[in-house]
């Protein structure tokens, strides 16, 4: 009988300890949920009371995170500007695009990271050809030469204070328009160049077109006519 009484007392003590532990665990869980709720409320209050600068920083961070896995690429549309008698490459128009670090600076494309890239460009012209009556006897053939060159500036060429450190052509093409044109009219011509290159961080790429202002003014700059782009491979 005494043994039975002792066993009963031990069981009652264990049951009491179990109840106390259960209450303690429930209390800790309630405290944890309360703290989480308070933290969420504070976060929402801070989000709603952020200043313009903080909101801009958050937007920039989100954009950077989105671009982390974006393949580097840029596509620019060309527009002829009469004031400078040259082609200005533009973003945020037509089908232009950029991402992954490739940037447009001073009308040039800047390479963010070393690696293989595909460089391409196209220029389209609507050349006004002269008629036979307007031809000079000394120049019976009214020929118009259209040139298209993509140039690269790179530290791999040598020190910046060196004479060799200069823009060098990496793509070049020439086409002749108005060949044996019987009557006055227009000669439509497009020049496309493109190839793969191993570029370095900080390399700069630019396009040089026909240097004759009269011919350059006849550049077509409609949708998909004149463009310049680079994408990582």
Q: Where are the domains of the chain?
A: 2-49, 71-232
Per-residue pLDDT of the chain (233 residues; tens, 9 = 90+): 555 555 556 666 556 654 555 555 555 556 555 655 555 554 445 555 555 666 666 665 555 545 556 789 999 999 888 877 788 999 888 788 899 999 999 999 999 999 999 999 999 888 877 665 555 555 555 678 889 999 999 988 875 555 556 899 999 998 887 765 555 566 777 899 999 999 999 999 999 998 788 888 888 878 888 999 999 99
**Strand-strand pairing, 204-209 and 144-153:** antiparallel
Beta strands, E only, 69-200 = 73-81, 86-90, 97-99, 103-105, 108-110, 115-129, 144-153, 168-177, 185-199
Cα distance between residue 170 and residue 110, in whole Å? 15
Domain 71-232 CATH (choose: 2.60.120.40, 1.10.10.10, 3.10.300.10, 2.40.160.10): 2.60.120.40
pLDDT at residue 135, as a whole number: 53
Residues β-bridged to residue 176: 145
Q: Is the pTM of this model over 0.85?
A: no
pLDDT at residue 54, as a whole number: 64
Cα distance between residue 41 and residue 34, in whole Å? 11
CA 217 to the chain's CA centroid: 28
Residue 141, SS3 per DSSP: coil
pLDDT at residue 213, as a whole number: 81
Q: Of the candidates 59, 58, 92, which has an alpha carbon nearest to the alpha carbon of residue 75? A: 92
**Strand-strand pairing, 97-99 and 115-129:** unpaired
pLDDT at residue 208, as a whole number: 92
Encoding tokens for residue 36?
């989480």
């Amino acid at each position: 009988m005494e043994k039975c009484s002792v066993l009963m007392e031990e069981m009652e003590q264990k049951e009491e300890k179990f109840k106390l532990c259960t209450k303690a665990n429930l209390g800790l869980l309630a405290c944890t949920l309360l703290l989480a709720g308070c933290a969420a409320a504070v976060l929402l209050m801070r989000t709603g009371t952020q200043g313009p600068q903080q909101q801009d920083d958050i937007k920039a961070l989100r954009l950077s995170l989105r671009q982390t896995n974006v393949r580097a690429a840029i596509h620019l549309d060309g527009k002829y500007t009469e004031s400078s008698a040259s082609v200005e490459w533009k973003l945020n128009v037509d089908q232009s695009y950029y991402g992954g670090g490739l940037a447009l600076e001073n009308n040039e494309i800047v390479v963010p990271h070393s690696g293989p890239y595909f460089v391409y460009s196209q220029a389209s012209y609507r050349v006004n050809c002269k008629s036979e009556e307007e031809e000079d006897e000394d120049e019976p053939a009214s020929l118009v030469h259209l040139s298209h060159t993509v140039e690269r500036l790179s530290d791999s060429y040598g020190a910046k204070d060196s004479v060799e450190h200069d823009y060098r052509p990496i793509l070049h093409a020439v086409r002749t328009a108005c060949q044996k044109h019987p009557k006055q009219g227009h000669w439509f011509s497009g020049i496309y160049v493109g190839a793969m290159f191993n570029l370095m961080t900080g390399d700069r790429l630019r396009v040089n077109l026909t240097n004759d202002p009269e011919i350059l003014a006849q550049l077509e700059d409609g949708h998909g006519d004149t463009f310049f782009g680079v994408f990582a491979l």
